[in-house]
Amino acid sequence: MKPLSLSRSDAGSYPDDAMSRRLALAELKERWTLLGLTLPGFALVLLVLAVPLAWLGWMSFLDDGGAFTLANYARLLKPVYTSSLLTTFQIAFCVTLACVLLGYPLAYLLSQVPERTGQVLMALVLLPFWTSVLVRTYAWLVLLQRQGIINNTMLDLGLIDQPLSLVNNFFGTTVGMVHVMLPFLVLPLYDKMKNIDPQLMSAAANCGASPAQAFRQVFLRLSLPGLASGVTLVFVLSLGFYLTPALLGGGKVAMWSMKISDTISLFGNWGAASALGVTLLIVTLLMLWGLRRVFGIKGGY
Amino acid sequence: MPGQIAIRDVYKHYGAFTAIDHVSLDVRAGEFLTLLGPSGSGKTTLLNVLAGFIRPESGSIRVDGVEFLTLPPHKRDIGMVFQNYALFPHMSVAENVAYPLRLRKVAGAERDRQVRRALDMVQMGHLGERAIQQLSGGQRQRVALARAMVFEPKIMLMDEPLSALDKNLREHMQVELKRLHDRVGMTTIYVTHDQKEALTLSHRIAVLNKGRLAQLDTPDALYERPVDRFVGGFIGESAFLPVEEQGHQVLFQKRPLRLPGGSVRHPGRAHVLLVRPERLHWQPVAGPEAMNRIDAQVRDVLYQGDSFHVGLALADGSELAARFLRGAATPTAPAPGQAVHLWLHAEDTLLVAESA
């Protein structure tokens, strides 16, 4: 039997060629199998997302007759659109802020209570997901309208003389959207908070930190990535949100998404609507990039 | 020298479970005291009471005369090393060590100097800028130690700090801890369930059993003169053999036992004979009249390299172990099944009470 040599032969491969070929083949087969598994999903995303977006971009440069034009983008400089963009950002900002103010303490509570209580509370936080957005939005309408439950209760208690205008305005829109968006902030934040070792707070106290200092300097700092994820999610979702502002805004809150809807349903101008859509997409991507820079997030969410 | 602790009558219970059952003890300034015991003995609870993370139902702890139990944990000025180190992940090594100084408003160059000094003491001076995620277990332990020491506290608490390390590293760190303590000399209270570790490191050991203080003594005294069966069994290897008490005499295998001069018998409690494997002799070296004899049969003989670990049994079924050192005078170990006589000096014949 030929003695096994560990040095390479002139051909540049190890003596036991057949074995290493089989191993290489097995490796290749495994890689292709994995690729094959991911391909259908990838193709679907490509088809459903990339292709329509590309078509949208294409359409935005066409006018009614089908000729190339930049007019669709030019008209976006009109005040009605710039103020709509401003309103959209204002809503998104207010909703995000309200979600942070309400959601951070909520997530903190969820992460600190004993397991059983935490599970019950979490179910309550997730409850909105089990009901349709439409139903929830209409529920707010019932609560907030002039003859709604809140106004009637306050009138009966004598707290006010006239019903307050709680809906069909900026306030009502914000309230409805906060209700929808809150779980999106609470969940990533809760997840991060749950992973903070409680012993770190003890260690901070031992080092000399008062409870407030320990919270600020250790817990808050460590929860920031979760907060960043939540804020990004809520802000970006709010930018493009349609249903709730449409129902609770009373036509007075001119969100960008409603402009798109109006352009199609009222004016039938697909080119213009496409331009609006592409603009929203670009603005959203810019916001994503900007937020990531601000929070210093590396990698995925 | 500061750092004297007077613990009086501390009582802590969780529902029906008593974690600390009216424990009192004094810790001398500069002493290395270990709280030793099995899980559930109350040692970690007592440490946490000292740290301020657990509030007892009653009792008092005075440090240099000042009542501690009314102080919140962040005002107690104690250094603590946690079992899993509890290093802040969002801070570098140097920032972790600097944190207690920052909280005490020590600024700039002075702070850097003290951080540097603390890190040098644990041989981590060159790793100040590292993120803690990049450190090994042993390195993290040192950073935790540096952080606990940096503000020169009067008292240091350690909660099984070496238990997460592998055996070799643990033994190495034990030596380092001892040297560090000899050098710096602050009162240290150390919690462990490892009796060997306790014997190595401590000036005195407080053995805890089910929330009570079983014995507080030097390692030597605990090993040589355990106060009851629990302490005798927890520290070192031991076998317990039944004896008969007849008036003033104590009989073993129907023969009266020769006991050491200071041997104490507790009235109203049963006693057993505590036998340590290394104290048994294979010949009556001081003469058969001056030693106690044990008749036993060899069960098994385990090779240990430098010696044999011989398992034996008495006629009544009680088991014990003896060490057989290989040497020029004793070339062959006994064989299984062989009936042997073992001999014990009077001073090594320990009578201990059954635990309460």
pLDDT digits (tens, 9 = 90+) for A225-242: 999 999 999 999 999 898
Q: Check CB contact of B100 with chain A, cutoff 8 Å.
A: yes
Token representation of residue B85: 């180190």
Substitution target from A196, A206, A221 for chain B, most B beta carbons within 10 A: A206
Q: Check CB contact of B17 with chain A, cutoff 8 Å.
A: no
Could you give the 3-state DSSP secondary structure of residue B335?
coil
Q: How confident is the model over B146-155, as pLDDT tens digits?
A: 999 999 999 9
* CA nearest to B99 within chain A: A207
Residue A38 is predicted with a pLDDT of 92
Nearest-angstrom CA–CA distance, A213 and A222: 13
Q: What percent of chain B has pLDDT over 70?
A: 98
Residue A300 is predicted with a pLDDT of 40
Lookup result for tokens 């509570």: A109
- State the smallest CA–CA distance between residue A231 and chain B in angstroms: 21
- State the smallest CA–CA distance between residue B78 and chain A in angstroms: 7
pLDDT tops 70 at residue A3:
no
A vs B: CB pairs below 8 A: 56
CA-closest candidate to residue B292, choices B249, B251, B335:
B251
pLDDT tops 80 at residue A65:
no
Partner-chain contact A221 B90, CB within 8 Å: yes
Q: Check CB contact of B105 with chain A, cutoff 8 Å.
A: no
- State the smallest CA–CA distance between residue A208 and chain B in angstroms: 4
Residue A71 is predicted with a pLDDT of 81
- State the smallest CA–CA distance between residue B157 and chain A in angstroms: 10
Partner-chain contact B77 A208, CB within 8 Å: yes
What lies within 8 Å, CB to CB, of B108 at 6+ separation is none
- For chain B, what is the mean pLDDT? 91
Q: Which residue has the higher pLDDT, B66 or B1?
A: B66
Length of chain B: 356
Q: How confident is the model over A101-144, as pLDDT tens digits?
A: 999 999 999 998 988 998 899 898 888 888 888 998 899 988 98
Nearest-angstrom CA–CA distance, B259 and B214: 23
CA-closest candidate to residue B27, choices B36, B38, B39, B35:
B35
- The model's confidence at residue A147, banded by pLDDT at 50, 70 and 90, is confident
- State the smallest CA–CA distance between residue B7 and chain A in angstroms: 20
The domain covering A78-295 belongs, at the CATH homologous superfamily level, to MetI-like (1.10.3720.10)
What is the interface pTM, i.e. ipTM, of the complex? 0.84
What interhelical angle do A221-240 and A270-295 show, nearest 10?
170
- State the smallest CA–CA distance between residue B241 and chain A in angstroms: 45
CA-closest candidate to residue A213, choices B86, B104, B82, B145:
B104
CA-closest candidate to residue B173, choices B133, B144, B193:
B144
Lowest mean pLDDT among A32-36, A287-291, B12-16: A287-291
Residue from the list A207, A208, A222 with its beta carbon closest to the beta carbon of B90:
A222
Substitution target from B55, B77, B99 for chain A, most A beta carbons within 10 A: B99
b/e string for B158-183 if b means 16 or more Cβ within 10 A? bbbbbeebeeeebeebbebbeebbee
Q: Which residues numbered 190-209 in B keep a CB inside 8 Å of some CB on A?
A: none
Q: How confident is the model over B90-143, as pLDDT tens digits?
A: 999 999 999 999 999 998 899 999 999 999 988 888 988 999 999 998 899 999
- The model's confidence at residue B356, banded by pLDDT at 50, 70 and 90, is low
* CA nearest to B97 within chain A: A207
Q: Check CB contact of B82 with chain A, cutoff 8 Å.
A: yes
Asked if residue A257 lies in contact with residue A35, where contact means CB atoms within 8 angstroms, the answer is no
Residue A70 is predicted with a pLDDT of 83
Partner-chain contact A222 B89, CB within 8 Å: yes
Domain residue ranges of chain A, discontinuous segments joined by +: 78-295
* CA nearest to B74 within chain A: A208
- Calculate mean pLDDT across residues B72-85: 93
Q: Check CB contact of B95 with chain A, cutoff 8 Å.
A: no
Asked if residue A230 lies in contact with residue A87, where contact means CB atoms within 8 angstroms, the answer is no
Which residues of chain A lie closer than 8 angstroms to B73, CB-CB?
A: 202, 205-206
- State the smallest CA–CA distance between residue B148 and chain A in angstroms: 8
Long-range contacts of B221-230 (CB under 8 A, 24+ apart): B223/B199, B225/B350, B226/B274, B226/B350, B226/B352, B227/B352, B227/B353, B228/B352, B228/B353, B228/B354, B228/B355, B228/B356, B229/B272, B229/B274, B229/B352, B229/B353, B229/B354, B229/B355, B230/B355
Nearest-angstrom CA–CA distance, B76 and A210: 11
| Backbone dihedral angles phi then psi of residue B5, each to the nearest 5 degrees | -120, 130
Pairing outcome for strands B155-159 and B271-275? unpaired
Alpha-carbon distance values, A127 to A70, A121, A124, A132, A143 (Å): 46, 10, 5, 11, 18
Substitution target from B82, B88, B149, B158 for chain A, most A beta carbons within 10 A: B88
Query: How many whole angstroms from its chain centre is CA A93?
Result: 13
* CA nearest to B80 within chain A: A206
Q: How confident is the model over B223-241, as pLDDT tens digits?
A: 998 998 999 999 989 999 9
